[in-house]
Structure 1
Amino acid sequence: MNRPFLIVPGLHGSGEGHWQRHWLADLEGAELVGQADWSNPQAGRWLHRLERAVIANPGALIIAHSLGAILTARLADSSVAPLVGGALLVAPADIERTGALHARSYEFGAMPVARLPFPALVVASRNDAYMSLDKARALARTWAAPLLDLGFAGHINVASGFGRWPRGYELARQLLDRAARRQRQGPTPHLPQQAADSISPTRIPVPPAR
């Protein structure tokens, strides 16, 4: 596989200084899943772009933030789900709350509630304006994914003091290790051999904090 990491931003596309942009530059072969209009998310169009990226990069680890995490969870019901190597779902955003915070409605459908058929980790905060920790916990249980409570970390973005976020690399490495162990335990319908062969825990460097 030529590109093992897919960066999936949320509303407004994770601009300059956001940890996702740092990771895009830091991680060899990382690819941004771009959208035609970052300010007007539409579930169908955004999902189509993500599905195409997954097909082109079987076994990739998805690094998702905010509405991007919600978008990634929608892959549970997609035919491309078996190609996903894993997903780091950071600061998932409640769709209704996102609309309220930005004084508008978004065509992003209902919150996805299907069990995730690939390894995943939800990373949440106690004071995230976009989703309460209780709701994040409930969503993680629904998705059958563990949750990491980062404490008072806001929306885990530039505004809450997150630049390169070196700790996140360790979380991604642990997630890749989980996916690799899962494959070694035997074949599953969720992670085909082609996808499993392409993920390697040694491919994530941990850059120094800046």
Structure 2
Amino acid sequence: MKTSECDILIVPGWNNSGPDHWQTRWEKRLPTARRVAQRDWAHPDRDAWVSALGIAIGKAKRPVVLVAHSLGVATVIHAAPYVGRKVAAAFLVGLPDVDRLDVPEIQSFAGLSSDPLPFPSMLVASRDDPYCAFERADEYAAAWGSDFVDAGFAGHINGDTGYGPWPEGLTRFATLLKRAGAPAAP
């Protein structure tokens, strides 16, 4: 699958992705990409975020490829049972361990499913991500049937840790698109 054959939905995490974040740069670079807007980036609410993602997917004219970071990954996982047939693939980066982090703002996202995802996916994880142990990310990837990518010591894989343009990420994303194959009907 080529980027021109799908609607790419950028799914940022808590507090959105700033101007130096790789998601923002990809959104500007990939012509079929658009950001999933959330009503409140500072006070995330699972139901509201999942609903916003579902609405964005529902508006898509072509097969959807999700590009999620951090709490956006948890949003995708919670939405998967409801939107799976319109999603061609998901690129998941920097999963936060919402079930083990003691952060009140993300408590509503706890209870991540360990069921296989209904679409091809790739989970990219860092060995020193402060929000999720590498081994825990590996366990989720195996449960979801996701390709698992070891990003090395990359922190939370965001603008603050030097992942602005992130060309290696684009290469991994292209691999996922190839795996997704021919576009499915929306």
SS of alignment partner, residue 48 of structure 1: helix
Looking at structure 2, the residues matched to 107 and 126 of structure 1 have their Cα atoms a distance apart, in angstroms, of 26
SS of alignment partner, residue 173 of structure 2: helix
2:47 maps to which residue?
A: 44
- Determine which of 87, 90, 109 is the counterpart of 1:87: 90
Q: Tell me by how many angstroms 1:162 deviates.
A: 0.7
| Superposed CA offset, 1:153-185 (max 9, x none) | 0000111111111111111111111111xx5xx
1:126 maps to which residue?
A: 127
Looking at structure 2, the residues matched to 59 and 19 of structure 1 have their Cα atoms a distance apart, in angstroms, of 22
What code does the residue aligned with 1:152 have? F
1:8 aligned onto 2:11: yes
What code does the residue aligned with 1:60 have? V
1:99/1:40 Cα in 2 relative to 1: closer, same or farther (>3 Å)? Answer: farther
| Superposed CA offset, 1:182-210 (max 9, x none) | x5xxxxxxx8x414xxxxxxxxxxxxxxx
| Superposed CA offset, 1:111-164 (max 9, x none) | 222210101000000000010000000011111111100100000011111111
- Once the two structures are superposed, the pairs formed by residues 27-176 of structure 1 within 5 Å of their partners are 27-57=30-60, 58-78=62-82, 80-100=83-103, 104=105, 106-176=107-177
Unaligned runs of 5+ in 1: 184-190, 196-210
What code does the residue aligned with 1:107 have? S
CA contact (8 A) 1:14 1:21 kept: yes
Q: TM-score, normalised by structure 2?
A: 0.91
SS of alignment partner, residue 124 of structure 2: strand
Looking at structure 1, the residues matched to 44 and 21 of structure 2 have their Cα atoms a distance apart, in angstroms, of 19
Unaligned runs of 5+ in 2: none
Looking at structure 1, the residues matched to 6 and 81 of structure 2 have their Cα atoms a distance apart, in angstroms, of 23
SS of alignment partner, residue 132 of structure 2: coil
CA contact (8 A) 2:66 2:90 kept: yes
1:24 maps to which residue?
A: 27
Q: How many residue pairs end up in the alignment?
A: 182
Task: Provide the aligned C-alpha RMSD in A.
Answer: 1.9
CA contact (8 A) 2:74 2:109 kept: no
1:145/1:2 Cα in 2 relative to 1: closer, same or farther (>3 Å)? Answer: closer
Q: Tell me by how many angstroms 1:3 deviates.
A: 6.1
Give the share of equivalent positions with the same residue, in percent: 36
SS of alignment partner, residue 175 of structure 2: helix
Q: Tell me by how many angstroms 1:98 deviates.
A: 4.6
CA contact (8 A) 1:125 1:150 kept: yes
1:208 maps to which residue?
A: none
Q: Tell me by how many angstroms 1:106 deviates.
A: 3.1
Looking at structure 2, the residues matched to 104 and 178 of structure 1 have their Cα atoms a distance apart, in angstroms, of 35
